[in-house]
Structure formats: C-alpha cells, structure tokens
A and B are shown apart, each in its own frame.
Chain A
Amino acid sequence: MKVTDQIKISLFRTMLRIRQFEMAVREHFQKTDIPGFAHLYVGEEAVATGLCAVLNPDDYVTSTHRGHGHCIAKGADLNRLMAELWGRKTGYCKGRGGSMHVYAREVNLLGTSGIVGAGLPLSLGPAIHAKLNKSGQVSVCFFGDGAANNGTFHESINLAAVQKLPVVFVCENNLYATVTAVHESTKTENFADRAAGYGIPGVIVDGNDVMDVLEKADKAVARARSGKGPTLLECKTYRHFGHYVGEPGTAYRPQEERNEWAKRDPIRMFCTHLVENGTIDPEGIEAIEHEVEKEIVEAVEFAGNSPLPDPQTVAQHVWSGQ
C-alpha cells in the first residue's frame, strides 16, 4: 500500500478521534453519565489505526474489553458508539450492550467483549465465511497480552494456521493484564515468538508507531487475503491510564516506566513526524484538532440527549424476530 500524505493525515485524524473520544468517556464516566466499566485505549491508538487503515470496509474486526479504539478505527459512528456507552436507546445495541458488548454490524465490527480471550475463536468464524464464499475478506482479531495466555489463543491460532484462514491476530501487548505484569505471567520474551510453534509468521511491531503498524499490517493482511493463512502481529504498546477509569494504574507500574512511555505518545510522535516532514503545517494540525473536538462534543450531546431504553422492553431481542 502506498502511503500518501492524504493517508498519513487521515491516520493522524483517526488517532486523534480515538484519543478525544476516550478523554470524553473518561470525563463522563467520572461524572457518572457512563455506567459500568470503561477501559480506555489512550496510548494505544496507533495499533487500531494502523491496522484498520489497510482494511477494506467489508473486512471484519473482533475486539476486546478495551474496544472503543477498534470501533472508531473501523469506522463506527461516534454518536452511536458514545450513546451505547451511556446505555441509550440510540446506541449501537440499543443500550443493552454497553462498552464491553458493542456490535457495529454496518462496519463489520463483530463485538467488543467482556470475556477475555473469547474473541480469538470467534474471529475464525468470519474467516471461514470469507473462505467458503471466496470473498477475499480478511478477519482481524485484536486481543491483549493477558488473553494470549488463555487456552483460546492456542486453539484459535493453531486451527487458523492449519486451515490457512484469512486471519490477522493482533496481540496488543501493553505490558500488563490488569495489575499483572507480562513477566509475571509469561516466560517468553515476545509473544510473536510463539508463532513459530504454529508454523505461521510472527512479527514484532512498534505499537506506538502508526507507520510501523501500517506497514506490517499491510503485509499480514495481504498474506491472509491471498490465501496463505494467518499472521501473528505483536504490537508493543502501553496504556496511559489505569486498567479502567477510576483505577489510577500507578501503584503497580513504576513511575519511570510510565514516563518513558509517555514520551513515546503515539499521537505526539506522529504529529511531530508529519510537521517535520512538511506533510502538514501546525495550522493544519490545529484545524484537525478543532474538527475532531467538534465531532466529540456532538457525540456527547447526542448521547446525553438520547432517550434511555424503556425497561419494559427488556425481553426484546432475547429471541430473533422480536
């Protein structure tokens, strides 16, 4: 894929949309407008953005509990996504799902998930569908370093490899699963190394460098599309905040480590790169920031002004055809 200036600018815009969306989620969670859990993607924006930039609109994405960024990068409507998080009738799932259970069928986003590791096998389904239909579609499966130690990881990757399914497995290694550091749960240095055990390529990716993600995702997606089977991408990254809003994420993560990763903020790094290379000038950046800000304000207003679902309809959608 040839990365034009226009594409680069849209990568920047997507990352910014995710960032600002998440900052609004944080604010409104703290104000108790948003109930439940909110696991923020702040700091990891480059992964979903770079990955989804090489996908076609009809390719599939399976997401996690930390899924708002995947939804946005895949093209989900910010208003309906925000409304779902607020539990509103206008949300993607009519307020029945919430942050951890978002399904945006129009953009082939096949679910964030409240069950760690559950998305891995689910992602093979769309791949089998694509293969049987010879549609050329690809299925992308995001999961965390924590999920990589669940049995579903092994079952799914092995099966996808054997069947040469068009899947791209994307391990978002943010070094922690809740409070458990990767080295507490995993003996291998890189999750990508495990790919060899399944006979598929494993690639280490700088998850904070959107261009590195895009380049390596492009190869993996092309390989899947051409019928050669899955790839395991391991994107090294870091969440800026705690595991969820309300959890500071400071007690178990050393200050020094947090500072180092803060310096490698994916959006700031890319912004500097764009300006230094003359892809865009600071005024251009500012203009995008304002546009995105406006979109987010609108999404919050949309959610806030949307009606709550009628409790009496609770049984609706237990069965199809309702």
Chain B
Amino acid sequence: MAKMRMVEAIRAAIREEMHRDDRVFCIGEDIGIPSGFGGAFQATLGLSDEFGHERILDTPIAEAGLTGVAIGAAVMGLRPIADVQYCDFLFCAMDQLVNQLAKLHYMSGGAVKVPMVMRAPVGATMRGAQHAQSVESYFMHVPGLKIACPSTPYDAKGLLKTAVRDDDPVMFFEHKKLYGSSGVRSVKGTIDASGEVPEEEYLIPFGQAQVRRRGAHVTILASLLMLYEALAAADELAGEGIECEVIDPRTLVPFDYETLAASVRKTGRLLIVHEDTFRLGWGAEVAARIGRDCFDYLDAPVERLTAPDTPAPFAPPMERFYVPDAGRIIEAVRRLL
C-alpha cells in the first residue's frame, strides 16, 4: 500500500495503462510540455519524459479538434485518454462528444467502436461561472456515454484503468478540490482526499456503488466533493444519535440502483446531494427511479440538495452559499426525519 493524492493515483493509472498497452496515449492541452505543469492539475506530470511527447500529445487550444482527433484514433483501435483543462471547455466540443463519440457505435450498427476516455475537472473554485461547473448531468442524458466520478484515490485509479479498457466511451469527471495538486497548480479550498492505494494491480468495475458509512435512519447519496461534506455531516449527526448511511455512486452510467435501493428500503429516507444545479441535475433522475422502485418503503419524499439554478457566482461568499456543504446537509437531513 502507498498513500497517494488523487492526482497521483490518476497519474499512476495512466502510467500503468500506457506501459501495459501501446495503444494507450494521452491527448490534451499543456499536458506534456517539458518544464510545464503536466496538464492543468498535473495528472500527466513527467509522463512525456517517460513515454515521449508523441504519446503525451499536446494540442493547441482546440477542444473540438482534439476531441475529434481522439475519437478518430479510437475508431482505429487506439485507446486515447483525452482531457480538457476545465470541464466547462467540454461545451466547445459538444458536437464531437454528443453527435460523434456517443453515437458512432450505434449508428454504425456496431461496426465501429470508440474506446476513448475524456477526463474533465469539475467543481467551483472561486474562478467564476466559466470555470466552475459540474457537468455530469449533461452527459448522463446522452445515450452511449458511460460516466465515472471517483471520490478517492483508490477509486480514481481502479475506475480509470477500467475506463481505458472499456470498449465504449467514458466521461471521467474529477473534482478540482480533491486532486491535491501542489505548487503553482494547487487549488484553494482543497480538502485532503489522499488515501491508500495498493501496489498490485486492481480494477474497479463500473456500476458498483460504495457504502461509505453505515446507518439506519437516512440514506445520503453523494459523489465527488459532496461525498466529503456528507460524511462530515454524518459525523456530526451521529453525535445527536442520527445515523446516516452514506453512499458514493462512483459511476453514474451505469448506476448501481440495487445498492441504493437496498439502503433506502432499510432507512426509508433518501437525500441526494450534488454540486450541479437543481433542475434536471442527476439527482432528479435518481429521485424518480427511487420514488418508483422504493415507493412502499419511503417514509418521506426523496430530497435533493444541490446548487441553486443559477450560474456559479464569483464573489467568495456567494460561491460558498452556492455550493452545498455539511451544514446544509445537516439541515436537510433534519427536515427529512
């Protein structure tokens, strides 16, 4: 076992996959420049020295272009790990992602496979509305895209390796405040999400949620940064005798409804927390499913705690108000009981 920060675990996964399989390569902006950052948050730091600048391929600032290039390469059987510096820039590449990447396999009647991964950092970090979004829900809506959202270094590594080997496209969302990036790329408000990662190889299958804390009174479903806020809230509520069961979905597509439903049948109450905005945020989909599947077991309507339906504001007190936190989770749990 080795203790790793999230960004180190991601880098380790990329390294191992690149060593294992010559077809794997990275493509993105500022990812392999010597004396550069190794990508916006250092995920590929040092990898161009190890694998050469051809396999850590730097592109100009051209998200639509680099996404299309990766798709085309994947169609040819390569296994690209593409990335954008902030998930907000995925919108520059929407045609390639939604009309091409997600649909090629289907439209070709299965003739074409697109085994590519698109990594993208999410989350508000006081940089204003165009560097702050959580965009998982947009892509969850698109048939043909798998979605991972790891919250721990262990999961990040295991899920990324699975994503690289998957024959279908995977959107891989990472949270800026969980990376633990250092130096000039450190992010204000970062929380310590470092954790143990085994030396030996392991993979984590998609579609398996993880129960992070056991409890009998209420189920909280939360991913990425919100998982940590939920765990903090659960700690505090435990002091009052309220036991929360905290579940981390780990992947949104496919989604492990079984684990979640089993928990809700036990607790009778569900609070879903995400950093994305409310209207049609992924919590809405989950709430609808649980409302149907667990109808007879629910003691209260499914609750959702999310950012409000506004762009992310810039001013720090506004942003703190915008992003759900442990305090607001505690209030929401109390409302549910």
Chain A positions near chain B (C-beta within 8 angstroms):
35-37, 87-89, 93, 95-101, 113-117, 146-147, 149-151, 177-181, 184-186, 242, 246-248, 251-252, 308-309, 311-312, 314-315, 318
Of B61, B309, B320, the residue contacting A117 (CB under 8 A) is: B61
C-alpha spacing A186/B58, complex, angstroms: 12
C-alpha spacing A101/B322, complex, angstroms: 18
**7 tightest A-B CB contacts, nearest first:** A114-B130, A311-B321, A149-B60, A87-B315, A98-B314, A95-B315, A179-B36
Please determine whether A309 and B315 come into contact, CB atoms closer than 8 angstroms: yes
For the complex formed, measure the closest distance between the CB of A306 and the CB atoms of chain B, giving whole angstroms: 11
Chain B residue with the shortest CB-CB distance to A247: B184
Of B89, B184, B310, B316, the residue contacting A87 (CB under 8 A) is: B316
Chain A residue with the shortest CB-CB distance to B36: A179
For the complex formed, measure the closest distance between the CB of B26 and the CB atoms of chain A, giving whole angstroms: 15
Does B65 count as interface, using CB distance less than 8 angstroms?
Answer: yes
- The secondary structure that dominates the B interface is loop
Of B88, B311, B321, the residue contacting A318 (CB under 8 A) is: B311
Please determine whether B61 and A100 come into contact, CB atoms closer than 8 angstroms: no
Please determine whether B35 and A35 come into contact, CB atoms closer than 8 angstroms: no
Please determine whether B127 and A314 come into contact, CB atoms closer than 8 angstroms: no
- The secondary structure that dominates the A interface is loop
For the complex formed, measure the closest distance between the CB of B58 and the CB atoms of chain A, giving whole angstroms: 6
Known interface pairs A97-B314, A179-B35. Does A150 touch B30 (Cβ–Cβ under 8 Å)?
A: no
A residues less than 8 Å from B313 (CB atoms):
95-96, 309, 314
For the complex formed, measure the closest distance between the CB of A153 and the CB atoms of chain B, giving whole angstroms: 10
- What are the interface flags for B57-94 relative to A under an 8 Å C-beta threshold, 1 for contact and 0 otherwise? 01111101100000000000000000000001100100
A residues less than 8 Å from B291 (CB atoms):
none
For the complex formed, measure the closest distance between the CB of A4 and the CB atoms of chain B, giving whole angstroms: 40
Of B62, B92, B131, the residue contacting A149 (CB under 8 A) is: B62
C-alpha spacing A116/B59, complex, angstroms: 14
Known: A99-B128, A177-B60, A318-B309. 13 other contacts (CB 8 A): A36-B127, A87-B318, A95-B314, A96-B314, A98-B314, A100-B131, A101-B128, A113-B130, A115-B130, A146-B61, A185-B60, A185-B61, A251-B36
A residues less than 8 Å from B311 (CB atoms):
96, 318
Chain B positions near chain A (C-beta within 8 angstroms):
29-30, 33-37, 58-62, 64-65, 88-89, 92, 126-131, 184, 188, 308-311, 313-318, 320-322
- A/B interface sample: 19 pairs, CB < 8 A: A37-B131, A87-B318, A97-B314, A113-B130, A114-B128, A117-B61, A117-B92, A146-B60, A149-B62, A177-B30, A180-B30, A180-B36, A185-B61, A242-B184, A252-B34, A309-B313, A314-B318, A314-B322, A318-B311
Of B184, B318, B321, the residue contacting A95 (CB under 8 A) is: B318
Known interface pairs A114-B131, A146-B61, A180-B30. Does A314 touch B314 (Cβ–Cβ under 8 Å)?
A: no
For the complex formed, measure the closest distance between the CB of B267 and the CB atoms of chain A, giving whole angstroms: 31
B residues less than 8 Å from A315 (CB atoms):
308-310
Chain A residue with the shortest CB-CB distance to B320: A311
Please determine whether B35 and A150 come into contact, CB atoms closer than 8 angstroms: no
Of A115, A151, A251, the residue contacting B35 (CB under 8 A) is: A251
Please determine whether A101 and B315 come into contact, CB atoms closer than 8 angstroms: no
C-alpha spacing A115/B130, complex, angstroms: 7
Please determine whether B127 and A100 come into contact, CB atoms closer than 8 angstroms: yes
A residues less than 8 Å from B59 (CB atoms):
185
For the complex formed, measure the closest distance between the CB of A68 and the CB atoms of chain B, giving whole angstroms: 14
C-alpha spacing A247/B37, complex, angstroms: 10
A residues less than 8 Å from B310 (CB atoms):
314-315, 318
Of B33, B65, B126, B131, the residue contacting A184 (CB under 8 A) is: B33
